[in-house]
Structure 1
Amino acid sequence: MRGSPYHVVTHELIPVIFQAGAKKTERIDIKHPNYGKVSSFKTMDAYKQTWIQFMFFLKEQFRISDPEKIDEEHIRDFMVYKTLEYPSKLYLARISAALGKLETALRYYTRNKYGEEKSFDFSIRQTVLDGARNLNLVADNYHDRAYEKPNILASSLAEPLHRLSAEIQWVSGGRIEAVSLIRTEQLRGYCIDPITGVTMGKIWSKEKGGREGMLMVLPSTYEWLKEHIEEHGRFKIDRQKYTTDIRRTCHNLGIKGEGSHGFRYAFAQRRMKEYMRAGHTYEQSLQAVSLELKHTRANITNHYLG
C-alpha cells in the first residue's frame, strides 16, 4: 500500500471500512459482512483526520508510508506524542478509538488483497490511554489552557535548552515538534512583523500533518538558537523530558500545568489582541491567527481563546 497519507487513507483504507447505512445489528454481528464497519459520515470523517495525522507521523518519524508495516511501537509512540500536548481525556480517547478502527480497516484491507487477514494488534493504545489518565497527563475537559505569564514559566524551566524551546513556543505559537528539532537550513534571518512592526527572527517549520510555515521569534531568542546550532550542528531536545520539566516547574510555581500546549494557547490569545489593535475585525483576526497556528479550521482556534 503506497502513496501519500491522503491517498492511502482516502482511497485504500476508508473504502474497505465505511458502509453508509449499515445497521448496528450488522456491525456487531461477527458473521455479518459489515461487522466492525463504520456507518456514520461524521464518525468516518473524524477517524479520517486522525489516520492522516498518524500517517504523516509515521512518514516523518519512521520513514514509513505503508500502513501494513504498522506495529505496536508505532501506535505507542503516536499515543505518547499526543499526550505531550496535554489533551483532554475525551480527545485522547477519540484518538485511541480511531487507531482501534484503523486496526479493523487494515484487517479488511489485507483480507481483500491477500485472501486472508494479516494479524495486527494495536491494544497498546488502551494501555497508554489508561496510563495517561492515571498519571494526570490529560485534562478533564476543554478549558482555557493559556499560561497567564508564559515568559516567567519559560525562564523558570530547569534546563537551558528547554527554556529556549519554551521561548520559541510562547512567542511563535509553534507545536512541540517544531521546537524539539531545528536545523541550520530552517533559520531564515529577520523580518518585520507586519502586524506589530517589530523586528523578528524567522524559523521555517513543518508540523502536524505536514503543514509548513514560518515561526517568528524575538531577536535574542533567534541569536541564542543560531549560536547553539553553529556550535552543535543542530538544536534538539527530548520531548518527554521537556514536558516533564514544564510540569515540575508549574508545580514549583504553584500554577496549573497545561503542558507545552499552554504556550500555544498563550500565543493565540496575545496574537488575537495584536491583530485587533492593528485594525482587523474579529473574524479577520481569527482567520489570521488560525493560519499562524497551522489549524485547518478557524473554529479550532476558538478553543484557544478562552
Structure 2
Amino acid sequence: MGKKSVPSPTRQVELCLKSLESYGQSKHEAKIEHNGEYLDGIYSHKTMKTYMNLCCTFSKWAKAEHGVKKLINLKPEITEKYFEKLKAEGKSPWTLQTVRSALRKLETGVKVRFQRTIEIVPKNLTLPIRERKARKNRGAYSREDADRIIGAVRKENYPRGLMLEVQDTVGLRIQEVTKIRVHDIDFKKGVLTVKGKGGRVRQLPVPQNILKKFREVIERENLTANRKIFTEKIREVERQVKRICQRLGIPEKGTHGFRHHYAISEYLRLRMSGLTDRQARLAVSRLLGHNRLDVTYSYIPREFTDLANLIVSVFHLTLLRNAQRGV
C-alpha cells in the first residue's frame, strides 16, 4: 500500500481549530464549570473566522519559507521570525496581539485534534503595548436627548422609533433588534429570548409598555410565530438617527448610544437596590450579553462609580429621613 497523503497545512489548521468549536455556549458559565480554569474553546463564528485566516496565512508562510508541511513540526523560533516579519510590515500592536492569540489557540487545537503537545508561540515573545483609543461617537445619550431622538424618529417612521425604544429599554444591539421574531417573545412572563454574538442565548425582561407595542404590531401585521417584528434595514435606521441628531443639535452617538444609556440606567437601579459596584457591573454585563466585568467600563466609565456612590448615598439618606418622619 502507498503512503497516506498528508493534508495541506491549511487543512490541518482547519481540523485543529474546528475541534475547538463551542458556538452558542457561554464562556462565563463554562469557566464556572471548570473552576475558573483557562478555556480551550472558540465561542463565536467571528473569532473562528479571524483565527482561521490568521493561522492559515501563518501556515502557508511557514511552508514556503521553512518547508514546514506538518503543524506538529512548527517551532517557536519559526514563529519568532514570523513576528519579526509582521513588525517590519508595520502591523499594529492590536494585530500582533490577535495573531499571537490565534497561534496559541492553534497550539490547543493541535493537542485536541492530534494529541500532540507542541509550542508554537515563544514563551518569551514580547509585543508592543496596545493603547486604547476612545471610539468616535460613542457613549450614552442623556434621558432627555434619548426621548427627543426616539420621538422624532417615531414621527417619521414608527417601526424605527420602536426599534430604538427597544434598545433604550431592553439594552439590545441594533442587530439583535432586527432579529426578534414573534416566538421569541413570552408575553405571559414578560421575557424576550435573544440570540446574541457567538450564538449565545440570553433572556431579558421587557417592560409592559414595550410588550403592548409588540402585540399591536403583531396584530396589525397579522404576523405568524416565525415572522420578524421588524423589517427595517440597519443602515437606514442609523442614517435617520444621524440626520435627526444634526437637526436637533444633539451630539450623535449612533444607535449604540441607546444601549449605553440602558447600561447606565440599569447600573444605577442595581446600585440603589443594594448591590456593590462590582455586583452591579457583573449583572449589567450579563444583561448586555458580555458576561465580563471589564467590558462594562466602556459603557459605565470608572469615574461614573464615584457619582453613583454619591447618588446611592443620597437615595438611602432620603429613605432614612422619610422613614424617621413616618412618610
More displaced 10-residue stretch of structure 1: 143-152 or 169-178: 143-152
State the 1:272 CA deviation: 0.5
Cα 1:163/1:41, change in 2 over 3 Å:
same
Q: Which amino acid aligns with 1:231?
A: R
Correspondent of 2:80 among 21, 34, 52: 21
Give the superposed CA RMSD.
3.5
Shift of 1:41: 6.9
TM score, norm. by length of structure 1:
0.57
Alignment partner of 1:279 is 2:274: yes
Q: Is the 8 A contact 2:139 2:299 kept in 1?
A: yes
Structure 2 length-normalised TM: 0.53
Q: What secondary structure sits across from 1:214 in the alignment? A: strand
1:151 to 122, 147, 154: 147
Query: Which has the higher mean CA deviation after the structures are superposed, 232-241 or 19-28?
Result: 19-28
Match of 2:240 among 241, 245, 249: 245
The answer to whether the 8 A contact 1:144-1:305 is kept is: no
1:228 aligns with 2:287: no
Aligned equivalent of 1:43: 98
Contact 1:20–1:41 (Cα < 8 Å) also in 2: no
Using a 3 Å threshold, how does the CA distance of structure 1 residues 184 and 276 change in structure 2: closer, same or farther?
same
State how 1:92-111 maps to structure 2 within 5 Å: none
Pairing 1:93-132 to 2, within 5 Å after superposition: none
Q: Alpha-carbon deviation of 1:145?
A: 1.2
1:141 aligns with 2:130: no
> Partner residue of 1:165?
163
Query: 1: distance between equivalents of 2:171 and 2:83?
Result: 43
Identical amino acids, percent of aligned pairs: 23
Unaligned runs of 5+ in 1: 31-35, 49-89, 92-138, 192-200
Instruction: State the secondary structure of the residue aligned to 2:135.
Output: coil
CA distance in 2, matches of 1:184, 1:255: 34
For residues 245 and 184 of structure 1, the distance between their equivalents in structure 2, rounded to whole angstroms, comes to 25
Instruction: Quote the offset at 1:140 in angstroms.
Output: 6.7
Report the residue type matching 1:160 in the other structure.
Y
Structure 2 unmatched ranges of 5 or more: 1-13, 24-41, 59-77, 104-130, 302-327
Alpha-carbon distance change, 211 to 142 in structure 1, aligned in 2, over 3 angstroms: farther
> Cα–Cα, structure 1 residues 249 and 216, in superposed 2: closer, same or farther, change >3 Å?
farther
Q: Structure 1 residues 12 and 190, CA, compared in 2 at 3 Å: closer, same or farther?
A: same
| Deviation digits for residues 29-84 of structure 1 (CA, Å, limit 9, x no counterpart) | 99xxxxx9x99873326779xxxxxxxxxxxxxxxxxxxxxxxxxxxxxxxxxxxx
Larger Rg: 2
In the other structure, the counterpart of 1:198 is none
Instruction: Output the CA distance in 1 between the equivalents of 2:263 and 2:101.
Output: 24
CA contact (8 A) 2:278 2:293 kept: no
Letter in 2 for 1:303: S
Summarize the Cα distance change of 1:143–1:167 in structure 2 as closer, same or farther, 3 Å threshold: closer
Give the drift of 1:22. Answer: 2.5
Once the 2 structures are TM-superposed, how far is the Cα of residue 299 of structure 1 from its aligned partner?
0.9
Matched-pair contact (CA < 8 Å) for 1:173–1:292:
yes
Partner Cα separation in structure 1 for residue 162 and residue 270 of structure 2: 25
* Corresponding residue for residue 214 of structure 1: 203
CA 39–174 in structure 1, closer or farther in 2 if over 3 Å, else same:
closer
2:185 is aligned to 187
2:139 corresponds to which letter in structure 1? Answer: R
Task: Go from structure 1 to structure 2 and tell me whether the alpha carbon gap of 1:279 and 1:29 turns closer, same or farther (over 3 Å shift).
Answer: closer
Which residue number in structure 1 is paired with residue 111 of structure 2?
A: none
**CA distance in structure 1 between the partners assigned to 2:141 and 2:96 by the alignment:** 37
In terms of fraction of residues, the more strand-rich structure is 1
Taking a change above 3 Å as real, the CA distance of residues 267 and 47 of structure 1, as seen in their structure-2 partners, is: farther
Hey, what does 2:309 align to over in structure 1? none
Aligned match of 1:203: 192
Query: In the alignment, is the contact (CA less than 8 A) between 1:173 and 1:263 conserved in 2?
Result: yes
Contact 1:22 1:39 (8 Å CA) reproduced: no
Is contact 1:204–1:214 with CA below 8 Å preserved after alignment?
yes
User: In 2, distance between residues paired with 1:283 and 1:28?
Assistant: 38
Q: Please give the alpha-carbon distance, in whole angstroms, between the structure 2 residues aligned to 1:253 and 1:45.
A: 46
Task: Find the aligned partners of 1:250 and 1:146 in 2 and give their Cα distance.
Answer: 13
Q: CA deviation at 1:276?
A: 0.5
